[in-house]
Amino acid sequence: MYENVTYEDILKRMLSRVSADLDKREGSILYDALAPAAMEMQMMYTELYAVLNELFADTAGREYLVRRAAERGLTPKASTYAVLKGEFDVDIPIGSRFSLETLNYVAVERIARGQYKMQCETIGTAGNMLFGTLIPIEYIRGLTKAELTELLIPGEDEEETERFRRRYFDSLNSQAFGGNIADYREKVNGISGVGGVKVYPAWNGGGTVKLVIIGSDYGVPSDELIRAVKDTIDPEVDAGKGYGLAPIGHVVTVEGAAQEQISISATIVYQTDYNFERCKEDIFKAIDTYLHELNMTWQDDSQTIVRVSRIEGRLLDIEGIMDAYDTTINGKSGNYALLSSSIAVRGDVSG
C-alpha cells in the first residue's frame, strides 16, 4: 500500500506547496529545510507498511503470528525428544546414559527384560535418524550388547511458521467442539509424535470413531505411538467412559496408516556417459522426496494421488537425464490413487 511512496515523491509534493516566487532549487534554504523532513516521512511510510503486514495473519512474521494466534488459545507445537527402543543383554538401571555417534541417550522406562525406552538427550528430529551399537557412558557390569533398534516416538522440531499459520486458519474455518472431526484432529495432532490424523466418525455404528494416524516423520507410526494416542484419547480399559480426551460415549479405535509401495518404471533417455546406475541415487532421492511431500499433506487429502507428470518432472531435473516418458506406476499407466488410509513409500524403480 505504501511500498511505492519514495523520498523523491514526498519532497516533490512538499515543494509543490511552496509559492513559485521562492527559490526551491536543490541547495536552497527551502530545499535543505524540507529534504530531512521528507526523508523522515519516507522512513515512516516504510515502517507503516511493515506494521500493516504484521497486522494480518496471512502476512505476519512468526513473532506477530504467534501473538495473533494466542488470542484463540493456539501456540506453536514445541520441539520434543525422540524415544527409541534399546535392546541389551542384561537389565540396566533407569537413567543409564549411552552415546551413538554425536548423540546421547538415557534409559527412561523398562519395556521388558533387556528392552528399554531410550530418550535422546538432543531435542528435535536429530534423534530420529540413528540406529546401531550404543556405547555406555558409565560402566555397567555384565553388559556386552547395547543397540538402538526402533523409533518408538519421533522427536519433533518446533512447529514451522507456515504449518502453524495453516493451523491458525484451520481453527477459524472449522470450529472444534464436543468431539466433532475438527476437535479430534486438534487433540490428536497435539500429541507428541503425531504428524497427521484422519477421523472416521460412526465407522462401526453410532458412538464409534476410528482414528488413523501417521508419525511426525510422516511415516508409519510405531505400536508404542498408537498405544500412546489410544491411552490419551480413550483408554482401552475404560473405553467410552470419558477418561481420555474423547467425549463420554465415544468408543475410539486408533490405527496406524498402512504403507503402500509405489513401484515406478519409465523409459529414460540419458546424456552421454550417464546411465541408470550412475543416476540411481539421485532418482531414488527425487522419488522419495516427492512421496514424502505427498505424505505431508496426507491428513488434508481425502485420497493421495501419485501423478505421472510430477514423477517425470522430478526425473527431468536430475543431472544426466534428457527425457523421461512411458512412465507406469505399479504396472499401470496414468496416475495412481492410494487407499485413503495409506501412505506412499518407494518400491522398485527401473528406467
Residues 183-215: tens digit of each pLDDT = 999 899 989 899 999 999 999 998 999 999 999
Contact 120, 82 (CB under 8 A): yes
Candidates 183, 166, 165; CA nearest to 174 is 183
Greatest alpha-carbon span in the chain:
101
pLDDT over threshold 80, residue 1: no
258 band by pLDDT with thresholds 50, 70 and 90: very high
**What's the mean pLDDT in 226-249?**
91
Per-residue pLDDT reduced to its tens digit, 19-72: 888 887 888 888 888 888 888 888 888 888 888 889 899 999 999 999 999 998
Per-residue pLDDT reduced to its tens digit, 305-317: 999 999 999 999 9
Which residues have CB under 8 Å from 261's CB, separation 6+? 330, 345, 346, 347
End-to-end CA distance of the chain: 52
pLDDT of 346? 94
Beta bridge pairs of residue 325: 267
pLDDT of 70? 93
User: What is the residue extent of each domain of the chain?
Assistant: 7-55, 83-153, 174-256, 258-350
Residue 324: count other Cβ atoms within 10 Å of its Cβ: 21
DSSP string, 263-289: EEEEEEEEPTT--HHHHHHHHHHHHHH
